[in-house]
Amino acid sequence: MHILAKANLIEAIERLVKEFKVLVPMQYDGVSRFSVWGSHGMQAFNASNTLLPPKDSLFPRTETLYAYQVANQEITGVTVRDQAEHQIIFGIRPCDMQSIHCLDDVFLTKGYADSYYHSKREKLLTVCIGCTKSEPTCFCESMGINPAGHSGADIQMNDLGSGYRVVAQSQSGQEIVEKWKDLLSQGQEEVVAASCTLKVDMNGVPEMLATLFEHSLWQEVSRKCIGCGTCTYLCPTCHCFDMDIQNQGNQGTRFRCWDSCMFSDYSRMAGGHDPRPSKSERLRNRFLHKLQFFSERYGKSLCVGCGRCLIKCPVHVDITLLIDQVRKEAAHV
């Protein structure tokens, strides 16, 4: 197997920066996220997943779609802003790698390809680092993900202690590995993978949820929810957005930006009707989307077990407790 000594890691990354915008896990000002190589902060290759998910590299928080000018109440020029750079997410964890697969399903399949997402996705390379330790809140294994790695990454690396095992898993991954040729050594070492201590039983959960739409558990679970956007904005797979315009004099832009189904105004329609008027409907929608609707439509869970919402929900609404409760309630239906 190819082994990249940790002492060579920086050089390996430096070789990519000419061609790519390299995003690495960084800790800055108390927040860990994927930042451009060389920006402020401390590299966090050894920590488990970052607090902020990597989704904004494909689906930015705010993205200008097009710009326009207006003269005499006529639109005079429309410029589409679809800028995609060659990017590498270096050090993505298996749960987040799976989240990109979920986003791919949403933005690229079923006959509707989102061009803005598509152009970024085409130019994205992923280097996944398998987890050697799990956080108490990690439950990716229960969601069918292997903490050791993800087959969807272009390159799979595994921490062996003094170096990383490197495996190219795609043509583009192979090309990168070629660039590292003189940095790699050969060896045989055992790959150690983390095992999650938090476990849930997902077997049959989508089917169970289909019978619990009107159940009182949603009222109960949602009472403490404060309807903030923490869980959705930290979730690597949540992808709700809104579109709006920003005008300045005789020119303007149309942008899209993240939105959250947990916000009280999210589902309010023109005229005032709201099909999800209270937090129990909103929370039900979020969890059903994660655990039922998405698997019905795309055959996979929209929760990848990253644990971010478990850590940061201000009032500890916990999707794993919900899954346990669903099993319990479904047994009584």
Partner 1 sequence: MNAIQIKMREVAGQLLSLGEVDRVIGWEKGRFAHQSPPAFITDETKVERLIWDEYCLTGTAKYLLDDPYRAGKTGLFARGCDARAINRLIQDGQVKRENIVIIGICCTGMSDSVSRQMAAKCCDCTHPTPVVYDLMIGEPVKPVAKPERFKAVAELEQKAAQEKSEYWTRQFAKCIRCYACRNICPACNCRECFADQYRVGWLGKQHHTAENQVFGLTRAYHIADRCIECGECARVCPVGIPLMELNRKLIKDIQQLFGDYHAGVDSETAPPLGRYSLDDMEEFM
Residues that bind partner 1 (CB under 8 A): 29-31, 51-52, 61-62, 136-137, 220, 223-224, 226-230, 233-234, 242, 244, 246, 255, 257-260, 263-265, 279, 310, 312, 314-318, 320-321
CB of 273 to ligand SF4, least distance (A): 22
Residues 99-158 that bind ligand SF4 (CB under 6 A): none
Instruction: Determine the distance from the C-alpha atom of residue 211 to the mean position of all C-alpha atoms in its chain, rounded to a whole number.
Output: 28
CA 306, CA 315: separation in Å to the nearest integer? 18
The answer to whether 262 and 228 are in contact (CB under 8 A) is yes
Q: Name which of partner 1, ligand SF4, none residue 10 binds, using a CB cut-off of 5 to 8 Å depending on partner kind.
A: none
CB of 17 to ligand SF4, least distance (A): 30
Burial (CB count within 10 angstroms: exposed 0-12, middle 13-18, buried 19+), residue 95: buried
Taking contact as CB under 6 A, which single stretch among the options 30-38, 175-183, 244-252, 299-307 is the one that binds ligand SF4? 299-307
Give me the phi and psi of 300, to 5 degrees please.
Answer: -145, 160
Q: Out of 225, 261, 288, 322, point to the residue binding ligand SF4 (CB under 6 A).
A: 225
Query: Which of 218, 240, 237, 204 lies closest to 303, judged by CA?
Result: 237
317 binds ligand SF4 (CB under 6 A): yes
227 binds ligand SF4 (CB under 6 A): yes
The answer to whether 206 and 151 are in contact (CB under 8 A) is no
Query: Which of 200, 160, 226, 154 lies closest to 319, judged by CA?
Result: 200
Taking contact as CB under 6 A, which single stretch among the options 2-10, 83-91, 167-175, 233-241 is the one that binds ligand SF4? 233-241
DSSP H or E run through 181: none
Q: Name which of partner 1, ligand SF4, none residue 244 binds, using a CB cut-off of 5 to 8 Å depending on partner kind.
A: partner 1
CB of 312 to ligand SF4, least distance (A): 7
